[in-house]
Structure 1
């Protein structure tokens, strides 16, 4: 669903992974980016293997709870932000909000289990129950003067700046091992949350595109360069067509990515359209590319190409890192 906004336009799209029984991703993109109506984006990725049979529910709870906490955080900013208060909110964003968010999710999960217990019974050990709903989470909040984002586990936050530069501000210093990932189901998951804090003193020089995606998208490329090229191509098409001009194409692009990764693939994005400089009707006749990112860059010697789906079910792509 596309929502046209004064400054920002938003879109969420998701496709189910090849051979999967259900889509275990969840996403939300809403708001205009104003002080009264902050821009809030989030994607959550349920782990998906038989060890996490309720992770689709866990992903929905994760996204829903982030929206509540994200809007609550934005409301604390207000129009006037004295330096001392902003420093206090920085500490809140880095330490307190992740803990509250994780506890919100774990309490939501426990309440759901008590209402709808599995064969283990309503009084099953709490830690065992939380694991059944395991999910990752990426979320972002943008208001005038400030952009903040949080991440637990895999997935990507990709930003395109006003000069067209692509960056991943929450990328981990070290790639996670194999398919292991941090998870909301861990007892002290808040200690593993990464936080990006970015003041925006000049709104005109702020980000032009925010894109949050589950790892089904990035895993479809043979290299980091391929994923960056995808974002560059996406931004170019947004600049030329506007979001209405690519809204029907995005699910097809995600389906192509999912065909390579075999995983559920979800994208939540916000594009800041230039005031008075929209694409107009030109997008309607613009040629459609089969893939928004163009040809895959030549792989480095010895690098493996993404495998084609072999018809098997990819049901255990993620496990939580303990």
Structure 2
């Protein structure tokens, strides 16, 4: 692959929920996935209720601060110059313990600073925890370097990974689903203890995930089942492979707008599709005779949700 072509093609889109006063979601993607510029992606979902009246700011602060911490992590993973990089075991410990604590601490400091600068006309005498509560937000973020793939999640939303063989997983899904609208949050006391971490060394460029996506729960809630969400993500991967990132970017706002209509919530998706080099082929051998078949492979039982995440019929498994 020519050096000028990035290893990752990225997508970013956010749609405001129907009848919502403002979009509480915030998102970012940057970097190329190299040692010098790690690929960083994040989404945050402000809680939006009266008890969290400043959560649209809380979600923005969460993403901005995650990007800063992720840059530091990338620099640690592969330092420049002659400095020897730390071991993967040390990096994993840092990702699981130091990273969440530093991120939550920075977020709390940021929101309390914002309160101090802007609240002279508002209710005096609030406790520190009450002030932090006003900015409550979830967060899902990931960092990809040539050496490691790490991701963190606090609260609802999804990290979705499609591996080199096309298998779709949500590695940071909680063991038990949240009840109702309750979710873990950056405003929770000692929130760093509730951050879930995904860790995966990258042994070769072609063994990196084929697709990594972070999304707010407005997308997953638009489907009648977890299976429908996974089919959508598989279909996204198929469309990217078949048609390229530019085509998918053009229709992504329509897909998310339709999802938002079903969930009634702000809906945000950030995705990175790996288009890096593949390993060298094995030495050629005389092929065996084979019957003529469709070069795309055998048909699937129900191709619509796999090939087209937004077919003319309802992709979300719900009645119109």
* Smaller-chain TM-score bracket: 0.7 to 0.9
| Structure-2-length-normalised TM-score | 0.84
The residue aligned with 1:283 is none
Pairing partner for 2:123 from 112, 120, 123: 120
Q: Secondary structure at the match of 1:135?
A: coil
CA displacement, residues 237-279 of structure 1 (integer Å, 9 cap, x when unaligned): 1111211111121011000000000000000111112459xxx
Matched, 1:194 2:162: no
Matches within 5 A, 1:119-268: 119-121=122-124, 124-268=126-270
TM-score, length-scaled by structure 1:
0.84
- What is the distance in 2 between the residues matched to 1:212 and 1:14? 12
Change (3 A) 1:173 1:292: same
Deviations 1:113-157 (A, max 9, x none): 000015113x52110010101000001000012100000000000
In the other structure, the counterpart of 2:74 is 74
Question: Could you say what secondary structure the match of 1:249 adopts?
Answer: helix
Bigger radius of gyration:
2
Paired residues, number: 286
Asked if the contact 1:162/1:205 (under 8 Å) is kept, the reply is yes
Q: Contact 1:5/1:32 (CA < 8 Å) preserved in 2?
A: no
Instruction: Say if 2:309 and 2:315, in contact at 8 Å, map to a contact too.
Output: no
**What value does the CA root-mean-square deviation take over the aligned residues?**
2.3
Contact 2:44 2:137 (C-alpha < 8 Å) held by counterparts: yes
Q: Does the residue aligned with 1:247 lie in a helix, a strand or coil?
A: helix
Task: Say if 2:205 and 2:276, in contact at 8 Å, map to a contact too.
Answer: no
Superimposed CA distance per residue, residues 150-170 of structure 1 (whole angstroms, 9 cap, x where no aligned partner): 000000000111111111110
Structure 1 partner of 2:41: 41
User: Secondary structure in 1 aligned to 2:232?
Assistant: helix
Instruction: Return 5+ residue gaps in structure 1 as ranges.
Output: 277-288, 300-304, 309-322
